């Protein structure tokens, strides 16, 4: 009878150990999934905030650019100064790693646009600066698309 009792206790002890081990494994898997989900949510939030900051500074620059484009040559110093300030602000913002190339292109476009106005104010040729601004604009749009596409693929 005692042997039967000992076998029963051993069986239940092994079953409990296996159950605890399985429960620990299941909990670890759940914790890992939760950690990955939280990291993905934080990454998405950081990306969205960076994109919003980058688009906001670009919108402010475009608004100031429209004003500068409709200003007489003799009165351009203040609008160009404002464009330079916005460009410096854009250079100083921190963005998600995926948007770093887009930020670089955006700042390059802003600087090239300022150079266009400075050449215009000095009555010099603007073609080189205009082409550079157009290239940076194209690079900016391409970088945004590449970043967005890579994020969609990662979320699939």
pLDDT, tens digit, 9 for 90 and up, residues 71-97? 998 999 999 999 999 999 999 999 999
The pTM for the full model equals 0.75
pLDDT, tens digit, 9 for 90 and up, residues 14-70? 767 777 777 777 777 777 777 888 878 888 898 999 999 999 999 999 999 999 999
Q: Angle at the Cα of 112 (from 108 to 115), degrees rounded to 5?
A: 145
Structure tokens at 8: 């029963």
Q: Give me the count of residues in the chain.
A: 156
pLDDT, tens digit, 9 for 90 and up, residues 123-132? 899 899 889 9
Q: Angle at the Cα of 74 (from 125 to 68), degrees rounded to 5?
A: 75
Using 50, 70 and 90 to split pLDDT, how confident is the model at 4?
A: low
Q: For residues 54 and 40, what is the distance between their CA atoms, to the nearest angstrom?
A: 21
pLDDT at 60: 97
Q: Where do the structural domains in the chain lie, given as residue ranges?
A: 2-155
Q: For residues 98 and 84, what is the distance between their CA atoms, to the nearest angstrom?
A: 25
Q: Which DSSP string corresponds to 83-127?
A: HHHHHHHHHH----GGGHHHHHHHHHHHHHHHHHHHHHHTT---H
pLDDT at 145: 92
Which one is predicted more confidently, 135 or 24? 135
Q: For residues 40 and 156, what is the distance between their CA atoms, to the nearest angstrom?
A: 13
pLDDT exceeds 60 at position 144? yes
pLDDT exceeds 80 at position 106? yes
């Amino acid at each position: 009878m005692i042997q039967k009792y000992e076998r029963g206790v051993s069986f239940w002890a092994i079953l409990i150990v296996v159950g605890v081990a399985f429960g620990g494994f299941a909990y670890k898997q759940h914790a890992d999934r939760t950690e990955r989900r939280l990291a993905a949510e934080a990454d998405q939030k950081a990306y969205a905030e960076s994109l919003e900051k980058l688009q906001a500074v670009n919108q402010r620059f475009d608004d100031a650019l429209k004003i500068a484009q409709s200003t007489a040559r003799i009165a351009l110093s203040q609008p160009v100064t404002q464009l330079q300030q916005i460009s410096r602000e854009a250079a100083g913002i921190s963005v998600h790693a995926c948007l770093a190339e887009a930020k670089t292109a955006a700042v390059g476009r802003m600087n090239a646009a300022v150079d266009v106005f400075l050449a215009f104010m000095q009555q010099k040729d603007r073609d080189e600066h205009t082409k550079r601004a157009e290239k940076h604009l194209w690079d900016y749009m391409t970088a945004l698309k590449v970043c967005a596409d890579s994020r969609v693929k990662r979320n699939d």
